[in-house]
Amino acid sequence: MAVSTNAAGAPRRRRRFSILTRQDKLVLGLAVGIPAFIHIFLVWVPTISSIFLSFTSWNGIGGLERIKFVGIDNYVNMFTRYPPFWPALQHNLVWLLTFLFIATPIGIFFAVLLDKNIRGTRIYQSAIYLPVVLSLAIVGFIWQLQYAPEEGVLNNVIHNFFPNMGTISWLGDKNINLAAVLVAASWRHIGYIMVLYLAGLKSVDPSLREAAAIDGASERQTFFRVVLPVLKPINVVILVITIIESLRAFDIVYVINKGQNGLELLSVLITQNIAGESSRVGFGSALAVILLLISVGPIIVFLTRTFEAPE
């Protein structure tokens, strides 16, 4: 978009800039310069540093001159001699697939249901969207109360129906705790996707659907053949958000058990290596680079769709 104004208004641009005083130019320079500096300094400098540091060894003690270049040692260590790495990567993947193939489709499904002309749709929407305002830390907290082995609702209900069944440790048993946490995380994610998708559905020209209805298309056909293709831009946004949210997951597992015992995630491993006795700057950075590499794909998809095709 910025490009198009530029191209269309090349001669006008010169004229407009001529009415800018030196002070105006200074103001514009600061308006761009200050935010750009803050953002680049605190977000992109560390990102680039992560990549650089991942090829070095440094325990954080002593000055920068103690940083030693070690080639790909950190990566070799991570892949071969660091037991939590593969489980964490696997958990991130499970998280991503669950969001992608279960939570997000459910959110879209709810949005489609609630987009119909039904009475009380606002009330239903409000109920499903409630968890979206909560932080994932609070979500973890609330679900701990539901999952608690003795006091939790879930086990008490199960005991009512199956008195002989043993107590299930939903968050303590490492075979099931990831699934239990994913239920809690999906509680919020589904509402988030529903809100975004509803906005998208509302933007669809109603005459399209009516035309399809007149032509005798069923509701299902109308959705898959007419509405879904029109919503391609928002589908891309939702895809990107789903992936990024899965990679960002941290708060909820940290609140529950600091991300151990079946709840390891890449984000948790990075955090464990930041400070304290186990501080390994180079190694933590290598883990961060893996997370960065996975994020780059969806980020590029998002940028392409946003900046390359202005309608």
Least distance to other proteins, CB of residue 30, Å = 8
Position 179 contacts other proteins (CB under 8 A): no
Position 233 contacts other proteins (CB under 8 A): yes
Residue with tokens 């900046």: 307
Residue 68, H or E segment: strand 68-69
Nearest Cα to 67, choosing from 55, 79, 76?
A: 55
Position 146 contacts other proteins (CB under 8 A): yes
Displacement of CA 142 from its chain's centroid (Å): 21
Position 192 contacts other proteins (CB under 8 A): yes
Burial class (CB in 10 A: 0-12, 13-18, 19+), 269: buried
**Residue 57 pairs with which residues in a beta bridge?**
68
User: What is the phi/psi pair of residue 218, to 5°?
Assistant: -75, 170
Nearer Cβ to other proteins, position 54 or 98?
54
User: What is the phi/psi pair of residue 167, to 5°?
Assistant: -70, 130
Least distance to other proteins, CB of residue 311, Å = 6
Residue with tokens 């104004």: 5
Q: How many residues bind other proteins (CB under 8 A)?
A: 121
x/- letters, 8..47, toward other proteins (CB under 8 A): -x---x--xx-xxx-xxx-xx-xxx-xxx-xxxxxxxxxx
User: Which window, 70-78, 81-89, 173-181, 210-218, contacts other proteins (CB under 8 A)?
Assistant: 210-218
> Which one of 72, 153, 179, 208 is in contact with other proteins (CB under 8 A)?
153
Nearer Cβ to other proteins, position 98 or 125?
125
Task: Name residues contacting other proteins, limited to 269-308 (CB under 8 A).
Answer: 270-271, 273-275, 281, 284-285, 288-289, 291-292, 295, 298-299, 302-303, 306-307
CB-based contact 288:54 (threshold 8 Å): yes
Task: Name residues contacting other proteins, limited to 47-106 (CB under 8 A).
Answer: 47, 49-50, 53, 60
x/- letters, 96..125, toward other proteins (CB under 8 A): --------------x--xx-x-xxx--xx-
> Which one of 70, 168, 213, 239 is in contact with other proteins (CB under 8 A)?
213
Report CA-CA distances (Å) from 183 to 27, 83, 144.
50, 26, 12
> Which one of 11, 62, 83, 310 is in contact with other proteins (CB under 8 A)?
310
CB-based contact 181:171 (threshold 8 Å): yes
Task: Name residues contacting other proteins, limited to 237-276 (CB under 8 A).
Answer: 237-238, 240-241, 244, 247-248, 250-251, 254-255, 266-267, 270-271, 273-275
User: Which window, 74-82, 95-103, 137-145, 165-173, contacts other proteins (CB under 8 A)?
Assistant: 137-145
DSSP string, 3-61: HHHHHHTHHHHHHHHHT--HHHHHHHHHHHHHHHHHHIIIIIHHHHHHHHHTTEE--S-
